[in-house]
Amino acid sequence: MSDQEVLAGYADVWWQAIDDFTALLEGLDEADWDRPTDLPGWDVRAVAAHVAHLEKVLATGEEEHADIGDPPPAHVTGLMGHYTEIGVVNRRGASPDAIINEIREAATARRTALLADPPTDADAKPERIFGGVPWTWRTLLRNRPLDVWMHEQDVRRAVARPGGMDTEPARHTAEYLAESMGFVLAKKVGAEPGTSLVLEMEGSAPFAFEVGEDRRGRVLPEPPATPDVLLAMDRESFTCLAGGRRPAPGAVRVEGDEALAQRVLDSMATTP
């Protein structure tokens, strides 16, 4: 498959994620927009404002500025946290309809541009990107459906409207996050070379990893018959853990070294 086809596939998944997210927002009551989410300091309105902010920057190339406070709110940590808070501050007084419309208009403009002039080199740098992050087209277009779908789930949990776990953005996000488990095992947990891990996640083929002699996590072509650790869980539990949201809402089955498995489970969060 060519780079252009791969990138177009990511863009299609992002477009579905945008449609699912805005459809969810449209069905909320006014009071729902003030409900707290799993993200510290952010309610539903802040989550929607964040998505609107990033989509607008990508569509227009125009960065925003705002005074987020000095000192900043306690939940703002690091440069990216400061950056994302700008979009939230700038939309505090916006109505739900205004935020929804902004997301749709910005996403439609960017979707139109991507179809008219599709990127063909996955390793090239996009002309427009938010916050100066040094991403390639591959990273940008692969990351956007993850970000939007994770925030759809933040909203769903906040307003007690579960769903969206069997969509293409859900599969894309879960399997993208699953790729980080080698890094978790090798770097965050510090497992010894030769240590193996298998992840069985509902809705996807098993993922297998091993720590190499260079102490880096690597993907194994086939799961070993007796891995050091096997973790089995549903998609929602995995994305909650890997996304650093909340404890797994479903059962997590552990086989093998239980102490090592617990260290892995405690270290799984790889995205804010």
Task: Please report, in angstroms and rounded to a whole number, the separation of the first and last CA atoms in the chain.
Answer: 31
Fold for the domain defined by 3-163: Four Helix Bundle (Hemerythrin (Met), subunit A) (1.20.120)
Q: What is the pLDDT of residue 76?
A: 94
In the prediction, which pLDDT does 201 show?
98
pTM: 0.96
Residue type at 112 in one-letter notation: T
Name the more confident of 212 and 132.
212
How far apart, in whole angstroms, are the C-alpha atoms of residue 203 and residue 214? 32
How much is the pLDDT for 132?
84
Rounded to whole angstroms, the Cα distance separating 185 from 139 reads: 22
Per-residue pLDDT, 272: 65
In contact, 214 and 224? CB cutoff 8 Å: no
Percent of the chain with pLDDT strictly greater than 70: 100
What is the pLDDT, as a whole number, of residue 181?
Answer: 98
Domain boundaries, the chain: 3-163, 179-266
Residue 271 — pLDDT band, cuts 50, 70, 90?
confident
Fold of 179-266: Nonspecific Lipid-transfer Protein; Chain A (3.30.1050)
